[in-house]
Amino acid sequence: MPELPEVETTVRFLRKARPPILGAGFVDLWSDFKKIVKKPKNFRQFKKEIQGKKILKIRRRAKNIIFELSSGYSLLIHQKLTGHLLYAKWEKDRVNDYIHLKFFLNNGKILALSDLRKFAKVELWKSPDLEKELRSLGPEPLEKNFIFKKFKEALKDRRGKIKQILMNQEIIAGIGNIYSDEALWRAKIHPFKEPSKLSEAELKKLYQSLKEVLKKSIKLHGESISDYRDPSGSRGNFDRIRMVYRREGEKCSRCGRKIKRLKMAGRSARFCPLCQKQNP
């Protein structure tokens, strides 16, 4: 699933896109899977309401891409498991078999949503209503004001496994399977450990590791081990420094012990049983 680094990569690409997407307006819309639009549920109404609106700003909140539009509206796109946005001008109608939504812009370009599993969602909101909806999300881990003290407060009195807590979007925004695994490995913390069992030193190391791995991934344009691509169709390069995610059975690059994978409430946790002991 695209997480904070992949979504941030997409947003930064679109902000700098040429011809500019900022200022461009929607002139038409196509879809072969209209259920991808969740709000309004009537696709014809969605098409009618978005036509003519201009893109004024593009930003990220957690794993959501938000296009601030003219007339006080906002377009929210969540790429879910296998979605990614493409921005191009195609001579052929078909680029891949998984493009299910196309926005035709008045700058001659197409903004398309490709999604193998068809789990992505697209919503058109009145901007003030969207801001209210997003209030339940936790703080952004790369914001300057997300200092160590706020990190500690976010984890205080939380019960459960640390990996699950890191992935809870109402506690900290934008982190999922990939970067929780990677940050915990770097901090030498077992994914099943409870926050209350972590020392001050471990908490500081986890805080630093989380910021470090997210920043590095953004610099490398995200992880493309699965379906993610940036809007040009290019792969991300985080795979070069991926240490544990989807590396079960391989040797830990730090100690040589084989990486393990355990199930966790329907998800998976990858870790080194030697470097990340649950009860050291």
Q: Which residues are catalytic?
A: 2-3, 63, 267
Beta carbons within 10 angstroms of residue 71's beta carbon: 11
Beta carbons within 10 angstroms of residue 59's beta carbon: 13
Cα–Cα dist 24/105, whole Å:
6
Sheet holding 73-78, edge to edge: 37-39, 121-126, 73-78, 64-69, 55-61
Instruction: Enumerate the H helices of the chain as residue ranges.
Output: 4-15, 43-50, 127-133, 148-155, 162-167, 177-187, 200-219
Name the residue with tokens 């703080």: 139
| Cβ 210 vs Cβ 248: under 8 Å | no
Pull the structure tokens for residue 52.
């003519």
Kind of pairing between the strands at 64-69 and 121-126: unpaired
| Cβ 217 vs Cβ 240: under 8 Å | no
> 3-class DSSP state for residue 25?
strand
